[in-house]
Every structure is written in structure tokens, then in C-alpha cells.
A and B are shown apart, each in its own frame.
Chain A
Amino acid sequence: MNAVFTARNLVIGALLVFLALLPIYVVATGQFFPLTLFTRIVILALAATSLNLILGYGGMVSFGHAAYLGVGGYVVGILAKEGITSGFAQWPLALAVCALFALVVGALCLRTRGVYFIMITLAFAQMIYYVAVGLDRYGGDDGLTIYRRSQFAGLIDLSGKVQFYYLCLALLLAAIWIVSRLVNSRFGMVIRGSRSNDRRMRAIGFPIFRYRLAGFVIAGMMCGLAGALLANHTDFISPAVMHWTRSGDLIVMIVLGGVGSLFGPLIGAVTLLMLEEGLSRVTEYWQIIVGPLLLFIVVYAHGGIDGILASLHRG
């Protein structure tokens, strides 16, 4: 059927096949750098996917989402330092702490709208950043080295690069699937309706605060999982992971890929990180290009890459 083989679907399909087969190439050639790069890309794509749920679909521009990367990572790091290396203990706790944090911050932030909301999420994320900097016992500004990755009683060995990569990829795909179910469910309709016209939502009788808060918590937990993965990937966690400019990066990934599209965050993550890799080989000052590029995209290419692909189909 013509509709299936759209440009957009082809690109996504090709990307997924590439991601699935990458380890084979890497093992064959013995060059592990691409695998390291793409593990990082997949993990950040997971974080971006979680943000897309509330930002892309829910219209909540949270500029503090990287905080959950940090919280999830620090739970793993702190527990590891204190001798608890079982992933079965660390990861659920990471999710729980993120859920709690999202609940409290969300309850405060979601009472505001628009610009206030953006600024307040930013401020709270920076607060957590400073708390982490102040944690002398756990490295403070210098960060915390993780000497042993999360142990899963032999089920999977996270130190194995290929195994770890596939775990991250599987979790990313699971997350995208979960998001796809969420956004089409009743809950998703409320979130999306609130983005479209929240005044109307209230008029027809929805108490939208509680649903937005639920979305906020779910997104926070998902991002916390990405944080746990990131901590394992780099064997290290530091406050820099949750600096507000990192939250900005996540938003950039979403907008690049296409706001409110399922695979947009993945496309955006791949694009942004490959762009950074590529540009940084050309010049040390690559950010000087990314900056105006962002501005350009915002002003002219509103729907991101996904939008461009979709318009090709409509042609």
C-alpha cells in the first residue's frame, strides 16, 4: 500500500535496521567507537522520547528534564558506592526516586503556565544540580566514579559492550511503543487535548492538573531509567549531566526530529549527536554553527525533520 512506504517510514525503517545491525559491523571490524557513540545516542534518545511525551504531545515545555537523567544516575552511583550493586535494587529505586521528585516538582510547576512553567522547571532543575554539586561525599563537582556496573544476577552482563547496547536499544524501542499506546489512550487524549486547547478542556469538564501531573511523573521515570543506563555506560556520574544546557539539548533533539512524532526524538538524537561529532572534527568551534542553525530551524523548519519528510509525501 502506498501509504506504508512513505519517505518518513522508509527513513525510520532504515534507521532501525541500521541500529539493529550495527554491532555486527563493529565486531567484524573491531572498531568499537561507533558502538560507544550509538549507545550514547540510544540512551539520550530514550531521554528525549520521555520528554516528548510531555512536551511534544502534552505541550508542557519542561526545561529541566535532564534533572531526571541526573537523579536516576546518582541513585545508581550512590548505591554502587555504598556497596549495593544489584540492578534489581538500584533501578527500581532510581525509578521511584524520580517519580517522587517529578511528583513534587510537577505539583509546584504545573500550577503555572506558559513562560512561568518553562522558567520554573529550569529553576528546579538547577536547584538539583547545585544539590549534587554540594554532595561532597559523592564527588561533588568532580563527579562520582562507578566501579561496578549494575549486576543482574547473571541474566545480562552490562560490561559487555554489545549486550549493553542491545539492552539500551530494546529499552528505547519498548519506550517508544509504550508512548505510542499512551498517546492514543484516554489519558493521551486528555494530554493532547490540553496541549491543543486547555481552556476548552476545562470547559468540557476535565480536571487537567491531575493528568498532566501523571504525565510528568511517567516522563520523569522514563528519563530516570535513561539516567541509570547513562551512569552504567560512562561508569561515572556528575552534576554536569543535569546542567540546564543538557535539558536544552533534549529539547533540541525533539524539535529537530519533529515535535509530537513517535520517532522524532530518535531521529533528532541521531542527527544532533552525529552533527556534533562531525562538526567537531571540522572545527573546534562547532557550537558557533549549531547555535544559528537552531535559530534557523526554529524560524523556518517548524516541523523538524519529521515535518520535512511528511511534506515530501504530501508533495
Chain B
Amino acid sequence: MLQIRDLTKRFGGVLASDGISLEVPVGELHAIIGPNGAGKSTLIGQLAGEISPEKGQIFFNGCDITRLPTHRRSALGLARSFQITSLFLDFTVLDNVALAVQAHAGHSFRFWQPARKEAKLRGPARAALARVGLESRADVICANLSHGEHRQLEIAMALATAPCMLVLDEPMAGMGPDESARMIALLGELKGEQTILLIEHDMDAVFRLADRITVMVDGRVIACGTPDVIRADAEVRQAYLGVHKARHHG
């Protein structure tokens, strides 16, 4: 489904992406972990089309999307959620998701009929909200939601675009234990239906959900494999897990 080959990106003197190669087959939940500054955000940026790589290629569903603009990637079925919540704060929750549906429901050069009355948009929007458990909050203004609900909404919007693959950037960022548990459950349900690329810091979630894990440090991939392999990998332990476990439990 997704193939990244030798992706390289430099910012001034810093090599944010150093020849990254990665593959995510259909139906897999692939997690990427790594300490802060490892280059995960840069990688997502290049996947999404916001940053353009100097070298390397990205193949999605067989198409070379390396130079494709962001909206075209979404049209091809690549949906993403944002690490720092990026929503339409002045619209209602339902409006937010309906917009995501609208983007994939034909053109929007319709100037007369109210979009809020289009069942074609509202129906799938409500379905996506139900999927993540937000249907009761449909008419609330987005700015008035809690942080955890924002993160859920991010997922709903990604789902509403009827994607082939989800790229989730730290969906559990800033969540408390209850909300995290709900999110893990949700991701577990989605796991069977979608191909997922998950960037996360929450090791609990990662090791429970992932089929395979890629570990990144300083812009490079230092290990890639099943959770057991990664847990056992000495280099990973030294570079990352040890430090992280200490922080996680401490």
C-alpha cells in the first residue's frame, strides 16, 4: 500500500530525513516510534505533501505521489490526522466532518442549495461520528469540545474521507488514561478495516496494536520488525526504549 524509498530532507544544516525506507502492506497497522527530534514530523510532512523531499520517492497504492499536492493525495485515499489539533473551530462538530465528506463527494461549485441540508453529506458524516463515539456532540461548536474529543474528531474526519490508508500523528497526545484506553479500543477496531500508519509515544498502545514497528533516531530508521523483535533489539533499547521506559514509569 505504502512504500517509502530513500527519503531525504535537509533543513539548513540538519538532516531531518536521512535515507528513510519503509513499507506498509495492505491491512497492516504499522507504528513509528522514536525520541523527540527523530524526524517523525518531517516524515509525516513529506507523506502529506507539505514538505518536499530532496531525494527519494513515495509510492502509494502503486502511484508515485512524491511530488503530488496534498489535496490530490487525499483524493487517492490517504487520510491523515494532525498531531496538533487542526480543526474548524468555529464550525459545529457535524459541519467539520461533513466538510471532509464533501471533499470527496463531487465538486463544490454548487452555489445555491444549503450544504447543511444535503443528506448525502450529513449521512456519512454522522456515521463517521458514531464510529468514534462522538454522535451525541454533533451540534456542539468545535471550539467547545474537550481535548480528548478533539482528538476523536480528528480521527472521525480522517475516516469521513473514505480512505484506503490512515496516517495518524500521535492521536493520543495529551490524553488521560481513560481517554487513551478508549482511543486504543477504537484503533483496535479500525485495525481490521484500514491500513494504518501510527506515530505514537504511548508505548503501551504501540506494543498492543502494532503489527510491525519502525524505530527512528536522528532521521534514520534504526530498526524495523514485529513488536517482539523490537523489544529484544539491543540498539533500540539503548537508544530509545531504556530512556523512554524510565520516563514512562517515573
Residues of A within 8 A of B (CB): 181-182, 184-190, 192-193, 196-197, 199-208, 211, 214
Q: Are A189 and B70 in contact (CB under 8 A)?
A: no
For residue B145, CB closer than 8 A to chain A, the reply is: no
Query: Is A200 a contact partner of B112 (Cβ separation < 8 A)?
Result: no
Is A185 a contact of B103 with CB atoms below 8 Å? no
B82 within 8 A of A: yes
A201 to B87 CA separation, bound complex (whole angstroms) = 9
B99 interfacial contact with A, CB 8 Å: yes
Closest residue to B105 on the A side, CB-wise?
A186
CA distance A197 to B75 in the complex (A): 18
Q: Are A205 and B103 in contact (CB under 8 A)?
A: yes
> Complex: how many Å from CA A207 to CA B103?
9
Asked if residues A196 and B88 are in contact (CB atoms below 8 Å), the reply is yes
Query: Which residues of chain A are near B89, meaning CB under 8 Å?
Result: 196-197
- Spot the interface stretch: B30-38, B113-121, B220-228: B113-121
Q: Which of B74, B89, B108 has the most CB of A within 10 A?
A: B108
A-chain residues with CB within 8 Å of residue B79 when the two chains form the complex: 204
B166 within 8 A of A: no
Contact with A along B86-112 (1 / 0, CB 8 A): 111111000100111011100011111
- Is A199's CB under 8 angstroms from B109's CB? no
Question: Is A205 a contact of B104 with CB atoms below 8 Å?
Answer: yes
Chain B residues with a Cβ closer than 8 Å to the other chain, count: 37
Q: Which residues of chain A come closer than 8 Å to B69, judged between CB atoms? A: 202, 207
A276 to B102, CA, bound (A): 45
- A302: shortest Cβ distance to chain B, in Å? 14
* Distance from A269 Cβ to chain B, minimum over Cβ atoms (Å): 25
Chain B residue contacts of A192, Cβ below 8 A: 91
Which one of B71, B88, B111, B161 lies within 8 Å of A197 (CB-CB)? B88
In the complex with contacts A205-B71, A205-B74, A214-B109, A189-B115 CB distance below 8 A: yes
Residues of B within 8 A of A202 (CB): 69-71, 74
B90 and A186 contacting across the interface, CB-CB below 8 Å: no
Q: How far is the CA of A142 from the CA of B157 in the complex (A)?
A: 57
A contact residues around B115 at 8 Å (CB): 184-186, 188-189
Chain B residue with the shortest CB-CB distance to A218: B111
> Does the CB pair B108–A203 fall under 8 Å?
no
Given A181-B111, A202-B71, verify A186-B86 contact (CB < 8 Å).
no
- Complex partner residue of B111 from A185, A207, A208, CB under 8 angstroms: A185
Partner among A184, A199, A206 whose Cβ is within 8 Å of the Cβ of B114: A184
The 9 residue pairs across chains A and B that have the minimum distance between CB atoms: A205-B74, A205-B103, A186-B110, A186-B108, A202-B70, A184-B114, A196-B88, A204-B100, A186-B115
Complex: how many Å from CA A31 to CA B102? Answer: 54
A63 to B100, CA, bound (A): 31
Selected A-B contacts with CB under 8 Å, 22 pairs? A182-B111, A184-B114, A185-B112, A185-B114, A185-B115, A186-B102, A188-B111, A188-B115, A189-B108, A190-B108, A193-B91, A197-B88, A197-B89, A200-B82, A200-B87, A201-B99, A201-B103, A203-B86, A204-B100, A204-B157, A207-B71, A207-B72
Is the pair B88, A203 in contact by a Cβ cutoff of 8 Å? Answer: no
- Inter-chain CA distance A182–B72, complex, in Å, is 25
Q: Which of A184, A193, A200 contacts B116 (CB 8 A)?
A: A184
Roughly how many angstroms separate A272 CA and B90 CA in the complex, as a whole number?
28
Is B80 an interface residue when CB atoms closer than 8 A count as contact?
yes
- Judged by a CB distance under 8 angstroms, whether B48 is at the interface is yes
Q: How far is the CA of A202 from the CA of B72 in the complex (A)?
A: 9
Chain A nearest Cβ from B52, distance in angstroms: 14
Distance in angstroms from B93 CB to nearest chain A CB is 14
| Residue among A185, A186, A188, A192 with the highest chain B CB neighbour number at 10 A | A186
Taking a contact as CB atoms under 8 Å apart, the answer to whether A187 and B90 are in contact is no
Q: With A184-B116, A186-B102 in contact, is A203–B111 under 8 Å at CB?
A: no
Q: Which residues of A contact B50 (CB under 8 A)?
A: 199
* A203, B70: Cβ atoms closer than 8 Å: yes
A206 / chain B contacts, CB cutoff of 8 Å:
71, 103, 108
Chain B residue contacts of A182, Cβ below 8 A: 111
Cα(A123)–Cα(B82), bound, Å:
36
Name which residue of chain B comes closest to A196, CB basis: B88
